């Protein structure tokens, strides 16, 4: 939980209409210069704000900024809008939302699928982008995996959205606990239908924005977790290399979802990319009761075998608990777990 509630913010939801009448839902939270946040894949403004980890992430990002988010057509609070040109549609949405809030220029943060869209926008509309922060993105969708694997995932989402959302959640947040995974899988299914999910996934695989990246002139920070299971870190390096003078930041972790894993390290990197100080809204990582027990024993200097004997579990189970704690807290070794437990008193 945040160490202070002083930075909790509320969002206001509104709608804007596109030229063809399609309604697009958008939300505004915080105060200060505008920050446009592009949705990564699927989204739902209301459900995302109710998802504890996601809301806390946005609250920290929004310190000293007015955070502007939207649901792309077909997702969340926006109308469906089958379009022969999904890129033109996304550009129209960004333009319409920016106009609705009176933002002629803004900082721009994009994650995952929205990174290619952000590169297209920033390359074509350089006067609107003050600073650009990109997380977990790519230039060419062909690089995201073998064709057979991509087709399998698309087929799974199309034919069984329930199972597909579970599989994708395991890829996106491999170290999250069962409760997080179940809640996020449900969140994806409630954000859009199977057809929309498949269409957006396929779009991500088809995009190639190499030429667009070369046109970007805004100060740019590219961030990627080193063991991201959904998008290899090499893709992030390619994004940075394609943009003139872009800074590349590599963070530890395997989760693709921004608010999974060590979220406050990502928040600080994003805020740094916008020229802002670290967020004062720091988050205490949450562990299960069993994980807290294991962390306490690690702090006592016990080995996995000793922990297993103390808790009457298998040594393999003890090892798994330690690894999940390490990933949850964003640590590399047992010594960091021990230091964290001692200094925090496992509160």
CA distances from 152 to 110, 149, 172, 191 (A): 26, 5, 16, 22
The pLDDT, as a whole number, for residue 335 is 83
Q: Mean pLDDT across the stretch 262-291?
A: 82
Cα–Cα distance measured from residue 307 to residue 325, given in angstroms and rounded to the nearest whole number: 14
Q: What is the predicted pLDDT for the residue at 175?
A: 82
**Of 3-7, 53-57, 64-68, 323-327, highest mean pLDDT:** 64-68
Say if residues 107 and 35 touch (Cβ distance below 8 Å).
Answer: yes
Checking if the pLDDT of 157 tops 60, the result is: yes
Catalogue all structural domains in the chain, each as residue range(s) with its CATH number: 11-273 (3.40.50.1820), 289-344 (1.10.10.10)
| Sheet order of strands, 23-30 included | 11-17, 23-30, 66-70, 34-38, 106-111, 129-135, 220-225, 247-251
Asked if 121 contacts 36 with a C-beta cutoff of 8 angstroms, the reply is: no
**This prediction's pTM:** 0.79
| pLDDT tens-place string over residues 105-127 | 999 999 999 999 999 999 999 99
Contacts 24+ apart (CB under 8 A), 340-347: 340/295, 341/295, 341/296, 341/298, 341/299, 342/299, 344/284, 346/292, 346/295, 346/296, 347/284
Does residue 181 carry a pLDDT above 90?
A: no
Encoded tokens for 343: 């200094």
Which one is predicted more confidently, 26 or 329?
26
pLDDT score of 261: 84
Q: pLDDT at position 308, please?
A: 95
Supply the pLDDT for residue 285. Answer: 55
* Pair 94, 129: CB distance under 8 Å: no
Strand, coil or helix: what is 68?
strand
Output 324 or 79, whichever has higher pLDDT: 79
pLDDT at 3 over 50: no
In the prediction, which pLDDT does 227 show?
94
**pLDDT above 60 (res 282):** no
Q: How confident is the model at residue 343 (pLDDT cuts 50, 70, 90)?
A: low
Residue pLDDT, tens place only, 226-258 = 999 999 999 999 999 999 989 999 999 999 999
Q: Work out the pLDDT band at 346, boundaries 50, 70, 90.
A: very low
Token reading at 275:
């020229």
Tens digits of per-residue pLDDT, 192-229?
999 999 999 999 999 999 999 999 999 999 999 999 99
């Amino acid at each position: 939980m945040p160490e202070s509630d002083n930075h909790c913010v509320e969002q206001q939801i509104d709608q804007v209409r596109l030229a063809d009448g399609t309604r697009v839902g958008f939300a505004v939270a915080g105060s200060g210069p505008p920050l446009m946040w592009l949705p990564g894949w699927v989204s739902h403004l209301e459900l995302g704000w109710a998802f504890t980890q996601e809301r806390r992430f946005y609250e920290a990002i929004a310190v000293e900024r007015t955070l502007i988010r939207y649901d792309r057509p077909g997702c969340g609070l926006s109308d469906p809008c089958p379009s022969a040109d999904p890129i033109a549609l996304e550009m129209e949405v960004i333009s319409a939302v920016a106009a609705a809030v009176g933002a002629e220029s803004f900082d721009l943060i994009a994650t995952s699928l929205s990174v290619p869209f952000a590169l297209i926008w920033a390359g074509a509309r350089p006067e609107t982008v003050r600073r650009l922060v990109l997380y977990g993105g790519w230039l060419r969708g062909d690089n995201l995996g073998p064709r057979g694997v991509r087709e399998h995932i698309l087929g799974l989402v199309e034919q069984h959205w329930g199972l597909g959302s579970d599989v994708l959640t395991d890829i996106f947040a491999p170290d999250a606990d069962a409760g997080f995974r179940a809640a996020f899988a449900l969140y994806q299914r409630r954000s859009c239908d199977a057809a929309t999910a498949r269409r957006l996934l396929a779009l991500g695989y088809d995009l190639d924005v190499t030429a667009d990246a070369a046109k970007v002139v805004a100060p740019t920070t590219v961030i990627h977790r080193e063991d991201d299971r959904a998008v290899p870190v090499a893709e992030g390096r390619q994004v940075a290399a394609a943009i003139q003078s872009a800074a590349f930041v590599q963070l530890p972790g395997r989760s693709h979802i921004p608010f999974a894993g060590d979220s406050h390290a990502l928040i600080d990197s994003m805020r740094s990319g916008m020229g802002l100080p670290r967020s004062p809204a720091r988050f205490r990582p949450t562990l299960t009761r069993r994980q807290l027990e294991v962390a306490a024993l690690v702090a006592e200097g016990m080995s996995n075998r000793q922990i297993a004997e103390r808790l009457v579990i298998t040594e393999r189970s003890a090892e798994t608990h330690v690894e999940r704690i390490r990933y949850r807290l964003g640590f590399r070794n047992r010594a960091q777990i021990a230091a964290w437990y001692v200094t925090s008193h496992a509160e």
